[in-house]
Every structure is written in structure tokens, then in C-alpha cells.
Amino acid sequence: MCLSIPSKVVKIDKQNEVATVDTMGVQREASLALVGEEDIKIGDYVLLHIGFVMNKIDESEALLSLEAFEKIIEIIDEEEPL
């Protein structure tokens, strides 16, 4: 099973086709090579998968997905405390 996680673009390096994205508080670099000419801007939400931005998504959809991920994490933490 594969998951694409909504992430917010916080920085763009167009010369190297790389974006810095924030995924639930964790920042990482992601390649923009797969989005082609799609106009990705700082502040956009994108789907991130194995280090690549797959596509831009609507902010409200991204926030709903992130809320669902947070609820899942809470449930897992409650059932399996460290």
C-alpha cells in the first residue's frame, strides 16, 4: 500500500527543480521533476510520494486529509503507548 501525504510548499529552488515541503511539521526536499510545467508556488499544498511532488491539490482537501492522518496517529498512540 502506498500513501501520498499532503505537504505545504515552503521554499522552491526552480534551478534544481526541488521544493522544500512541510509534512506535518517535518521539512524535507522533494523533486518537482514529475509535475512538469504545473505552476507550484510557495504556500501550495501538494501530494508527496517517495521524495517526489506528484501534483498540486486543493488546500481544503489537504487540510481534511491531514486532520484524518492526525486522528489516526492519535488512535495508534492511545493503543500502543511508547
**Residue 7: left if φ>0, alpha if ψ -120 to 50, beta else—which one?**
beta
* pTM across the whole model: 0.82
Report which DSSP code applies to 35: G
pLDDT at position 37? 66
User: Is the per-residue pLDDT at 46 higher than 70?
Assistant: yes
Average the pLDDT over 7-36 and give the result.
93
Average the pLDDT over 17-25 and give the result.
94
Are the beta carbons of 59 and 32 closer than 8 angstroms? no
Mean pLDDT, the chain, whole residue set: 89
82 pLDDT band, cuts 50/70/90, is low
CATH number at residue 19: 2.30.30.140
Q: Cα(first)–Cα(last) distance of the chain, in Å?
A: 25
Count of domains forming the chain: 1
Interior angle at CA 47, CA 74 and CA 5, nearest 5? 20
pLDDT at position 36? 73
User: Is the per-residue pLDDT at 2 higher than 80?
Assistant: no
The parent domain of residue 28 ranges over: 5-79
Are the beta carbons of 46 and 68 closer than 8 angstroms? no
